[in-house]
Amino acid sequence: MNKYNPPRMNPSSLRSRFATRFLRTLSKINAQKPTSSSSPTEIFRRYRRIKAAADKSMAYSVRSRRTWSRAMLWKLRTRPCGRRSVKTSTIIKSREARKTRHEKQNKNTTTTTTTTTGEDGVVFGVEADELRELVPGGEAMDLYNLLDETAHYIKCLTTQVQVMKKIADFYSP
Amino acid sequence: MLHRLESLKSCTYDRMDMTVLERQAARLKWQQQNHVVQNNNPAELCASSVPRFQGLVGSNLGSGQMVELKRLEVFLGTDNFQEFLNFPVTGPEFGDSEKLDLLPPEAAADYCISRTSSCQITALDTAVMKEEREDMSLEKMESTIVSGRGSFNKRKAETVADHKSKDKRIKGEGEGESEVKTKCSTEISRNSSKENSKVSEVQKPDYIHVRARRGQATDSHSLAERARREKLSKKMKCLQDLVPGCNKITGKAGMLDEIINYVQSLQRQVEFLSMKIAALNSSVENLPMKEFPAIVANFPAAAKLPEMAGLPCFQLNPLQKESVNCMLNESMHPPQTEGIASASVSISEQSLSSSSMTQLQPFSTWNMDPQGLYNMYNMGFH
C-alpha cells in the first residue's frame, strides 16, 4: 500500500461518521466469522448482516434528525434478529413516535390526497406513492416533506455507496 | 343621514389634510345636532350606516376592489410611501358626486409586482400615520376599505365586539383594534398624531407574505396554493441538482420518475456492494482496521472516477458467484421498476453465465461511480 498523508477531513462530516461506524461494525462481523465461511449460504447471511450494518450505521450517523433515519432504525430494531437484543423501552418509544407519526399521517393524507390530486393532478399522486415506498418512513409525510427527505436520503445513499465502494476496493486483490 | 354620508365621503386616502378638516367639520356638525355622548355616536353611526356602506362596498367589489387590496398591500410593504401617495386611491364610492382620480387597475397592479405585500391593516395604519398624520377615524376608514367586506364594522371603535369580521386577515388586527378602540373613544375629535403613532407600534402578527400578481386571484386559498406550488418547485430544483442527468427533463412527473429510478439504483448499489464486501471478506484475511478510516476518508469526489477507471476486474471464484447469484435473486424478489430490474438482471446474468474471468468484465462496470452506473441503466433503456 502506498503511504500517503490523507488530507485534512472534517471529522464530523456525514461521510467520516458513517465510515467509522461502518468499519467498526464490519470488524465486529469479521471477528465473528466462523472458519467455514465460504459456503454461499454463509456468505449470504453475512451479506445480510453487512447490509443491515450499513443501513444502521447510516441511520445512526444521521441520528434522529430525519424521519427516514428514525424509520429505518425502528425497522432495524424490530426486525426479528436472533442475536440482537431488542430493548423494550426503545421499542415503546419508537412505537409512540410512530403513533404520533400516524396521527400526523392521518391529517396529512387527507390534505395530501386533496392537494396532490386536486392541484398538481393525479400524476403526482402515483409517483409520490412510489417514492413513499422507497424512502423509509415516507408513508407519513406530505409531498413537500417527502421531497425534503428524499433529497437528504439521496445524499446519504451516495455517501454510503462511496464508502462501501472504497472498502470493497480495499478488500479486493 | 346625508351628513353622515358626507363624513364618510370625506375619508379618502388622497388629499389627506383637506379631508381631515372636512371630516372634523362634519363631525362637529353632527355632534352638535345630536347632542349625544360621543361614545354612542360612532356606534349609531356605525350601526345605521354599515348596511349602507356595505351596500356601497359590495357594489364596488370586483376586480377594482381586488386591485385596491393589492395596492394597499403594496403600500404596506414598501418604504416608498411617496410613490403610493402619488397615486390616488379608489375608495368606495360613497356618493356618486365625489370623483376620485382613479389609476387604472393595471398601473396599480404593476406596482404590486415589485413590492412586498402585507396583510396587516394595522401596519397600514402605521404607515399612514407616519406619513400622513391621520386621524384615527381615517385610519379606521382606510382599514375598512382595505379589508373590504365586513370589517368596516370592526373599525368603528365601540362596535368591535358586536360585529364579526368576514375577512380572515382580521385575526391579527384584533389586537390593533382593541388598542384603536380605547384610543378612539377618548379622542374622536382630536387630531393628535402622537397618540396615533403609539398605536402604530403595536403589533406585527406573523403572516406569510405572499405576492398577489397581476391578473391572479387574491383570495387566501389561491394565495396559499400558489405559495405551496412555489415551495414545491423550489424543492424539485434542489432535487434536480442532486440527481444526475435531470437537467434535460422538465416537468414534475418526469422529474419524479427520475428521482425514483435514482433512489432505486442507489439502494441496489448498496445491496450489491454489501454483497461484494461479504464475499471478499470470506476470502481475505481481516486487514488492519486502523488504516481504514484514513484511507476511506480520503477520497475526494474527483478522485473517484480515475480510480474506477483503473479498477482491476475483481475475481469471483465459483462459490462467490453462487452467492452473488443468491443475492441477486433476493434483490429481485421485490421488483420495483420492472424495466430497471430486468435490465439489471440481464446484465448480472450475463456476467454470471460464464466461469471465466474475462467474462466478469461486465461486473467491473458495476463498480462505476453511481453516476456512471446510473447512466448505464439509462442506456439500457433508451
Residue of A nearest to B304 (CA): A162
Pick the residue of A30, A45, A47, A135 with the most B CBs within 10 A to test the interface with B by mutation. Answer: A47
Which comes out higher in pLDDT, residue B270 or B119? B270
Cβ-defined contact of B270 to A54 (cutoff 8 Å):
yes
Predicted pLDDT at B180? 45
Of A133 and B121, the one with more pLDDT? A133
Q: pLDDT confidence of A131, banded at 50, 70, 90?
A: confident
User: Cβ–Cβ of B298/A6 closer than 8 Å?
Assistant: yes
Q: Using one digit for the tens of pLDDT, what is the confidence trace for B6-15? A: 554 544 444 5
d(CA B125, CA B13): 12
Nearest residue in chain A measured CA to CA from B264: A134
Res B68 pLDDT > 50: no
pLDDT attached to residue A37? 59
Partners of B336 on chain A (C-beta within 8 Å) are: 130, 133-134
Euclidean distance between CA atoms A161 and B374, whole angstroms: 13
pLDDT of residue A15: 82
Cβ pairs bridging A and B (under 8 Å) = 194
> Which among B277, B297, B298 has the least Cβ separation from residue A171?
B277
Contact flag A16-B269 (C-beta cutoff 8 Å): no
Write the DSSP assignment of A49-97 as a string of letters: HHHHHHHHHHHHHHTTSSHHHHHHHHHHHHS--SSPPPPHHHHHHHHHH
Burial class (CB in 10 A: 0-12, 13-18, 19+), B143: buried
Measured between beta carbons, the chain B residues lying within 8 angstroms of A31 are 286
Dihedrals phi, psi of B245, to nearest 5 degrees: 80, 20
Angle between helices B193-200 and B170-186 (to 10 degrees): 160
Distance from the Cα of A89 to chain B's closest Cα (Å) equals: 30
| Cβ(B159)–Cβ(B181) below 8 Å | no
pLDDT in tens, B269-299: 988 888 888 877 766 555 555 555 555 555 4
The stretch B163-170 carries a mean pLDDT of 44
Q: What digits encode the pLDDT tens for the residues B332-355?
A: 444 444 444 344 444 444 444 433
Q: How high does pLDDT run on average in chain B?
A: 54
User: Which of the listed ranges A125-134, B181-190, B299-308 does the model predict with the highest average pLDDT?
Assistant: A125-134
User: What's the confidence (pLDDT) of residue B284?
Assistant: 59
Residue B303 CB partners (closer than 8 Å, separation 6+): none
Out of B225, B236, B300, closest to residue A147 by CB: B236
Averaging pLDDT over each range in A153-162, B155-164, B236-245, which range is the top one? A153-162
CA-based nearest residue in chain A for residue B257: A127
Beta-carbon contacts of B273 under 8 Å, excluding residues fewer than 6 positions away, are A161, A164, A165, A167, A168
Instruction: Check whether B48 has a pLDDT greater than 70.
Output: no
Contact A131/B at CB under 8 A: yes
pLDDT reading at B100 higher than 80: no
Which of B14-18, B165-169, B371-375 bottoms out in mean pLDDT, i.e. has the lowest? B165-169
Q: Is the pLDDT of residue B78 over 50?
A: no
pLDDT for B150 beyond 50:
no
Q: Which of B362, B368, B370, B320 has the alpha carbon at shortest distance from B345?
A: B362
For residue B260, list chain A residues with Cβ-Cβ distance below 8 A: 127, 130-131, 134
ipTM topping 0.85 = no
> How far is the alpha carbon of B364 from chain A, nearest alpha carbon, in Å?
11
Q: How far is A170 from chain B (nearest CA, A)?
A: 9
Nearest CA in chain A to B371: A158
Between B12 and B359, residue with greater pLDDT? B12
SS3 state of residue A135 = coil
- pLDDT computed for residue B53 by the predictor: 46
Mean pLDDT of A140-163: 85
Q: What is the 3-state secondary structure (H, E, C) of chain B?
A: CHHHHHHHHCCCCCCHHHHHHHHHHHHHHHHHHHCCCCCHHHHHHHHHHHHHHHHHHHHHCCHHHHHHHHHHHHHHHCCCHHHHHHCCCCCCCCCCCCCCCCCCHHHHHHHHHCCCCCCCHHHHHHHHHHHHCCCHHHHHHHHHHHHCCCCHHHHCHHHCCCCCCCCCCHHHHHHHHHHHHHHHHHCCCCCCHHHHHHHHCCCCCCCCCCCCCCCCCCCHHHHHHHHHHHHHHHHHHHHHHHCCCCCCCCCHHHHHHHHHHHHHHHHHHHHHHHHHHHHHHHHCCCCCCCHHHHHHHCCCHHHHHHHHHCCCCCCCCHHHHHHHHHHHHHHHCCCCCHHHHHHHHHHHHHHHCCCCCHHHHHHHHCCCCHHHHHHHHHHHHC
Percent of chain B with pLDDT over 90: 1
Examine the pLDDT at B379 and tell me if it is beyond 70: no
Report the C-alpha gap between B177 and B173 in whole angstroms.
6
Give the model's pLDDT for residue B234: 86
Q: How far apart are CA A139 and CA A102, in angstroms?
A: 9
Q: Within a 10 A sphere around the Cβ of B26, how many other Cβ atoms? A: 20
**pLDDT at residue B191 above 60?**
no
Q: For an interface test with A, give the residue of B273, B290, B307, B315 to mutate (most A CBs within 10 A).
A: B273
In which band, very low, low, confident or very high, does the pLDDT at B160 lie, cut at 50, 70 and 90?
A: very low
Which chain B residues are within 8 Å of A17, Cβ to Cβ?
A: none
For residues B366 and B269, give the distance between their C-alpha atoms in angstroms, rounded to a whole number. 8
Are B293 and A16 within 8 A, CB to CB? yes
pLDDT tops 60 at residue A129: yes
Q: Mind listing the pLDDT tens digit for each residue in A20-52?
A: 888 888 888 777 766 555 677 887 887 888 888
Question: Is A7 part of the contact surface with chain B (CB cutoff 8 Å)?
Answer: yes
Please report the pLDDT score of residue B265 as a whole number.
92
Which member of B275, B279, B298 has the closest CB to residue A7? Answer: B298
* Model confidence at B142: pLDDT above 60: no
Given a cut of 60, is residue B3 above it in pLDDT?
no
- For an interface test with A, which of B233, B263, B281 has the most A Cβ atoms less than 10 Å from its Cβ? B281
Kindly identify which residue of chain B lies nearest to residue A54, measuring between CA atoms: B274
Look at A121-130, A149-158, B129-138, B220-229 and tell me which has the smallest mean pLDDT: B129-138
Chain B residue with the nearest C-alpha to that of A25: B289
Q: Which among A147, A140, A153, A137 has a CA at the least distance from the CA of A74?
A: A137
Give the pLDDT band of residue A117 (cuts 50, 70, 90). Answer: very low
A124 close contact with B: CB closer than 8 A = yes
Q: Between vectors from CA B63 to CA B59 and to CA B66, what angle results, nearest 5°?
A: 95
Interface contact flag, A155 B279, Cβ < 8 Å: no
Which residues from A are below 8 Å from B272, CB to CB? none
Are B260 and A131 within 8 A, CB to CB?
A: yes
Inter-chain CB proximity B267 and A162 less than 8 Å: no
Confidence bin at A112 (pLDDT 50/70/90): very low
- Å between B320 CA and nearest CA of chain A: 7
